[in-house]
Amino acid sequence: MQHSIQSLFFSTFAFVLGAAVGSFLNVCIYRWPADLSINRPRRSFCPQCKQPIPWHHNLPLISWLALGGRCAHCGAKISFRYFAVELVTAALFFAIWQRFPWQVAIAYWIFVSFLIIGTFIDFEHFIIPDRVTIGGTIAGVVCSVVVPALMQTNSRLAAGIRAGLAAALGYVILWIVLEAGKIAFGRKRIEFDAPVKRADAWLLDLGDVREAARVSLNGREVGHAWSLPFALRLPALRTKGNVLEIEVTNLPANRIRDLDLRKVDWKVMKEINLVDLRYKPFDASGWPVAPSGLLGPVRLVPLEVVRPR
């Protein structure tokens, strides 16, 4: 009896702690990609009206339900994500607590927290910040040394070595995925430091693009370049480590040509069949291959504010 009450208490604690941690993870998910500080402002604020949220409207899980997913001040919809992250974190903290001894459970709590932040940032921005990947790797190695049981050993040294090797393996796998992804999705990712030369602003000139490009800088969308000139004005650059992402879509001419070359039956119309100008069955297999993707050259052009006299 004594035992079951105790275990019920700790399980409930794990769930409530998970919900509270989930609430903090929401802050990281919102602020990390935007490069905002985690502790300034200290108070959470409404993403719409920027009004600070009082603590009694910021209770994990409960407040979102009680306020019907809306800001109490301006009535703006608060994304379901806030509730989902708190619930997922609470459920995972609870499940981990049930399954593992407490030292291991605490290490896994840290681990899933990183995974949740990475997952939800990835959903929204298609990036996983270095704080998640590199921070998580460092945390993993440190946790393994502190809790060697994570690596199925009693020796801290052996645990540290195994964790280091595992981290290296993870790096190699990610590198392969990244390179394969570039080939498969036509998404270019470039890291660069701000030029030493001073400028009032910078223009990103993509040169020749077939046919449209979506550009993000440091996780934030800059805009779409969809006609000549393929150039966008960039927001302020960081001194070091800017991440530029360019996603290019093509007109589907090459795709249609390929389908027709392989005699794929894609022209399935309900009313009429696809024909060419002479009312003959449409066939793209004779088309030449069209230029496609980001042809460049990509340049950063310094801009200067001109003050008329």
Are 19 and 98 in contact, with CB atoms under 8 Å apart?
no
Q: Which is nearer to Zn ion, 49 or 303 (CB)?
A: 49
Q: Which of 11, 48, 79, 119 binds Zn ion (CB under 5 A)?
A: 48
Quick check: 74 binds Zn ion (CB under 5 A)?
yes
Minimum distance between the CB of residue 43 and Zn ion, rounded to whole angstroms?
Answer: 13
With CB under 5 A as the contact rule, the residue among 49, 165, 168, 303 that binds Zn ion is 49
239 is written with which tokens?
A: 């001194």
Of 44-52, 249-257, 277-285, 296-304: span binding Zn ion (CB under 5 A): 44-52
- Is 176 one of the binding residues for Zn ion (CB under 5 A)? no
Residue 232 and residue 222 in contact, taking contact as beta carbons nearer than 8 Å = yes
Q: Are 201 and 234 in contact (CB under 8 A)?
A: yes
Token couple for 282:
């449409």
Residue 46 interacts with Zn ion (CB under 5 A): yes or no: yes
Residue whose C-alpha is closest to residue 216's, from 193, 254, 248:
248
Q: How many residues bind Zn ion (CB under 5 A)?
A: 7
Candidates 73, 81, 188, 224; binder of Zn ion (CB under 5 A) is: 73
Q: Specify the stretch interacting with Zn ion by CB under 5 A; choose among 4-12, 30-38, 75-83, 99-107.
A: 75-83
Task: Give the shortest CB-84-to-Zn ion separation in angstroms.
Answer: 20
Which span (76-84, 152-160, 237-245, 265-273) binds Zn ion, by CB under 5 A?
A: 76-84
Give dist(CA 207, CA 60) in Å, integer: 49
Report 137-156 residues binding Zn ion (CB under 5 A).
Answer: none
> DSSP characters for 15-53?
HHHHHHHHHHHHHHHHHTTTT--SSSSSS-B-TTT-PBP
Contacts with 74 (C-beta within 8 Å, 6 or more apart), sequence order: 46, 48, 49, 51
Closer to Zn ion at the Cβ: 48 or 133? 48
**Interface residues toward Zn ion, by CB under 5 A:** 46, 48-49, 71, 73-74, 76
